[in-house]
Amino acid sequence: MPRSLWKGAISFGLITIPVKLYGATEEKDISFKQVHPADGGKIKYKRVCEKCGEEVPYAEIGKGYEAPDGRMAVLSKEDLDTLPLSSAKSVDVVQFVDEDEIDPTYFEKTYVVEAEGPGAKPYVLLRDALVKTGKSAVVKVALRSRESLALVRPSGKVLLMHTMLWPDEVRDNDFAAPDGDIKASDAEVAMAEMFITQMEGTFNPGDFSDSYREALDAVVQAKLSGVAVEEKAEQPSSGGGEVVDLVAALKASVEAAKAKRAAAAGQGTDDKDDEKKKAAS
């Protein structure tokens, strides 16, 4: 079981729900050390003050804000402790909304909310009420000395909390919009719809894997074992040239998708036949 990252309470009207938060995700990337290739020694860094040249222990490093004109405002622990974080140990519900009202761009990190002690009954009450109304709760919460907006929503038997960015932290993305004079023809859209139909399915996360991480792990294990790394065949380039005939390209894509789906269906049939043969034997 993971270690809880935060303890506090959800304020649901006059009801208080003691809770713990746990990270809902974990990164699986392979982490590297910076090393000297000649002998494999790890590279170490010293924290040195640019003014006096002295090495500063981590425990003595403070926080400073540098103004555009170069002035430095050094903040002490006391300065930070006096900041008015009313939600320091509470999750205050400020609004109930439909989940699809919120652009996923705002979502930052996901936490699992666990009821603590006497909070189990009101936890279930809030969870079931959200399910019944089809709503999610917009809340304010302070995590790691930073106040955030967040969304609390039901997921199966638990509540999840998604911390969110503030509006001024989300960039205006209109700059990336194609020129308004560019239009897709009805034939192109119809063929694109056909391709989408061929590729549609039910999302199952277990169907996907990180092929880059798997290949990287194989290289690392080969290096550790002193075995020569097996060279992989070079993948054909998808090409970056301009597609002149979009309809023809999409038609070819549809045919390829059909063939892929048929092959997958055939593989599924073969697997079932193998299972039947094993059962019969």
Question: What's CA 15's distance to the chain center, in Å?
Answer: 31
Extended beta strands in the chain, E state: 6-12, 15-23, 35-36, 41-42, 63-66, 72-75, 90-97, 107-115, 136-143, 146-155, 158-164
Measured CA to CA, the distance from residue 11 to residue 137 in angstroms comes to 11
Average pLDDT over residues 199-224: 83
Q: Write down all domains in the chain, each with its CATH number in brackets.
A: 6-27+83-169 (2.40.290.10), 178-201+245-281 (no CATH)
Cα angle, residue 179 at apex, residues 175 and 180 outer, rounded to 5°: 115
pLDDT value of position 163: 94
Average pLDDT over residues 115-130: 94
Res 256 pLDDT > 80? yes
Cα angle, residue 141 at apex, residues 58 and 95 outer, rounded to 5°: 160
pLDDT, tens digit (0-9, with 9 covering 90-100), for 212-227: 788 888 888 887 888 7
- Who wins on pLDDT, 188 or 238? 188
Q: Kindly report the number of other CB atoms within 10 A of residue 112's CB atom.
A: 19
**Which residue's entry shows tokens 């050390």?**
33
- Who wins on pLDDT, 264 or 98? 98
Task: Report the chain's mean pLDDT, rounded to a whole number.
Answer: 85
Res 276 pLDDT > 60? no
* pLDDT category of residue 272 using cuts at 50, 70 and 90: low
Res 126 pLDDT > 70? yes
pLDDT, tens digit (0-9, with 9 covering 90-100), for 5-38: 899 899 887 888 999 999 998 878 888 889 989 9
HSE (side-chain half, CA atoms, 13 Å) at 126:
30
| β pairing state of 15-23 and 41-42 | unpaired
Look up the pTM and report it: 0.71
> φ and ψ at 117, to 5 degrees?
55, -120
What are the structure tokens assigned to 210, written together? 């990180």
**Which residue's entry shows tokens 């294990």?**
221
pLDDT value of position 234: 63
What are the structure tokens assigned to 30, written together? 């392979």
* pLDDT category of residue 113 using cuts at 50, 70 and 90: very high
Burial 268-281 (b: 16+ CB within 10 A, else e): eeeeeeeeeeeeee
pLDDT value of position 259: 86
Measured CA to CA, the distance from residue 184 to residue 193 in angstroms comes to 12
Measured CA to CA, the distance from residue 253 to residue 194 in angstroms comes to 10
pLDDT, tens digit (0-9, with 9 covering 90-100), for 50-68: 999 999 999 999 999 999 9
